[in-house]
Amino acid sequence: MLAPTPAAGAALGLSLSGRPVADSGSFAVNWKNILGTLATTNTFRISVGGKEYVDVNLGAIVVGTQAALATAIKAAIENAYLAKGIAGITVTVSFIGPSAARRLQIQADSNGDVLIRQGNAAGGMTDLAVPLMLGTEQGGLEISGIANLRPAPTGSTIRAAIPGNITLFDGTAQSAFTAVTLESILLSNNTLVPQPVPVNLVTTLAGDMLSKDASPASKNDNSDGIREKLQLVAAAINNFVPPLGHAWPWRAEVWGYRLAIISKNSAADNLASAALAFTTAPAFPAAGFTNNVHYYALGTSGVGPLQILGVAGFDGTPPDSNTYDNAYASLDPEIDLFNLMVLAPVNGAVATVQQLYGNASVFCQKRRAFLLMDPDPAWVSASDAVAGVPGMRIGSVKDYSALFFPEITVSQDGLSKNIGPSGALAGLFARIDSTRGVWKAPAGTEADLRGITGLRQPFTDAENGILNPRAINTIRVFPNGIVNWGARTNQGDDDTPHDYKYIPVRRTALFIEESLYRGLKWVVFEPNDEPLWAQIRLAVGAFMHNLFRQGAFWGVRKNDAYYVKCDSETTTPDDINLGVVNIQIGFRPLKPAEFVVLYLQQMAGNTFV
């Protein structure tokens, strides 16, 4: 059940009794009847402002005026908390409603929630909470301190037991409430026509108030009539058959003390108002209803009686370096392992782009990962790329990143768009890693890009000959598809020789380092001596030999391909005193063949028969 949303300015954090106590004759006499006859014990259990539940026992309380009784109940609640050692609990206790039907209201002065249930004292089901209908389990109403923050429910709703409405219901006879007037649709011209829905709410005596119910097993002196009557109203609306030529667009539901009238039309942007008609009293005030649209219309077109003009959307501003730096700081403790990074598309000046990629490559170096970079969108030719690439690399860790050019073309819903290639390259890297291993360059005729429709601009062999020496990895169009035709890191420029010139060499080293870092955690806190070193050599050697057998290293013998050293030479006595064990690992990487050089020689002067 949705919690009732109070009217504007209504008190929050309160519990309202569901049972009216009449002023007729003497209020004190009627209250004493409840204490002495209907309740076996004068106890209820209460939680105020989020504190624990305590049992409140009014005992042999002397009933005088309403104000005196409210003061006594307030003191009993606050003293019950003090007896538990909980100080600072203050409440406001009052009696509200017409003189013919007063209801007990308990409110937390701090606007915290007030929750009531049956007490633990002897008497159980017949303690004071039951006849007074305190707490939702007994038919009372509890309004949370955050009720105003909840969105209004769909439909037109009347909140029968909100303090602002309770006077009308508690002071109205059952026979006075005869109809609910709603609007039906006249099919001939599609207009809304007011339509009274007859209701009969007389379940006891015609002169009884609406709060009187006809339950044969009542434990509260038949005082739960409000919810009973709302159920009858809902049934009348749901079973109503409109006149010929009318369409009935309404259904009704009861949520606690709230009657909801909901449109059946799923396309309706608003709901027509509903009204309650009385024969001897004015119609229920419009302020008693909360109307809400069935569906909200987004954008600037959602105009209607219940929705104001929408506000046009705003794409926001592009992320800057601080945004990305904050993201790295947040992701660092959250993501356990990654080995490739791609940044979202960035449209901006080269200075902005280079700052983003520089910080990203530093983060990748820290996490043993590799950064895939998109070209500047302003590049439209090979000469543009050669002139602009130095600026892209300023501030970056060049052997932990690689640049790819040109942009690729993708198509979605018939729309073609040029985007950076790094996302597609990340998928290609993952595919080659799983089929060949990280030591295989993710380039060549088998490194085709899938799911794309073209390139922003194709390149010739001559243009590729200009780009590749500058470590700009080109994407080419060949008869077998669109393929990646470069495998150099940003450190791979021909003018600056480097050990990590090639992507597969750097990624193989990162793979070995990360794998051994995770696989050797068992070493920590072991005795740092020859038995441990031997175990390390065995474990690391087995790992490296397995890679050698898969073809990850150069050489035909393992002694040519790798070595593992961990002994008294790598770990000195000073290292041992510092708690350090040093492991030295060497490997001969496989470097990709970038060029195929053919030597053709014509043989002349010889005749072979």
Q: What is the pLDDT of residue 282?
A: 45
Look at phi and psi of residue 25 and say left if phi exceeds 0, alpha if psi is from -120 to 50, else beta.
Answer: left
H or E stretch covering 25:
none
Q: Which of 96, 57, 54 is nearest to 76 (CA)?
A: 57
Query: Does residue 323 register a pLDDT over 50?
Result: yes
Query: What is the full DSSP assignment across 44-82?
Result: EEEEETTPPPEEEE--SPPP-SHHHHHHHHHHHHHHHHH
- What are 150-184's pLDDT values in tens digits? 766 766 676 655 555 666 677 788 888 888 888 88
Q: Is the pLDDT confidence value at 430 over 90?
A: yes
> In angstroms, what CA-CA distances link 98 with 21, 141, 300, 308, 494?
10, 18, 47, 38, 94
pLDDT higher than threshold 50 for residue 7? no
pLDDT band per the 50, 70, 90 thresholds, residue 317: confident
CA quadruple 394, 397, 398, 400: dihedral positive or negative? negative
Q: What is the mean pLDDT of residues 212-233?
A: 88
Residue 426 confidence (pLDDT): 94
Q: Measured between alpha carbons, how far is 437 from 552 in angstroms, rounded to an integer? A: 8
The model's pLDDT over 71-81, given as tens digits with 9 standing for 90+, comes to 999 999 999 99
How far from chain centre, in Å, is Cα 160?
Answer: 34
DSSP-assigned beta bridge partners for residue 415 = 412
Average pLDDT over residues 374-383: 89
Residue 517 in this model has a pLDDT that exceeds 60: yes
Confidence grade of residue 115 (pLDDT, cut at 50, 70, 90): very high
Tell me the chain's radius of gyration from C-alpha atoms: 40
Look at strands 472-478 and 481-484 and give their pairing. antiparallel
Spatial separation of the C-alpha atoms in residues 41 and 413, rounded to whole Å = 72
pLDDT of residue 8: 43
Least confident of 22-26, 334-338, 557-561: 22-26
Q: Looking at residue 266, what is its pLDDT?
A: 60
* pLDDT given for residue 106 in this prediction: 93
Q: Which helix (H) or strand (E) holds 565?
A: strand 562-565
> For the chain, what is the mean pLDDT?
83
* Higher-confidence position of 293 and 554: 554
**What local confidence, expressed as pLDDT, does residue 574 receive?**
93
pLDDT band at 495 (very low <50, low <70, confident <90, very high): confident
When pLDDT is averaged across residues 551-565 and rounded to a whole number, the result is 89
Give this prediction's pTM: 0.53
Give residue-wise pLDDT tens across range 402-411: 999 999 999 8
Instruction: Look at residue 281 in the predicted model and tell me its pLDDT.
Output: 47
208 Cβ contact list (under 8 Å, min separation 6): 173, 174, 225
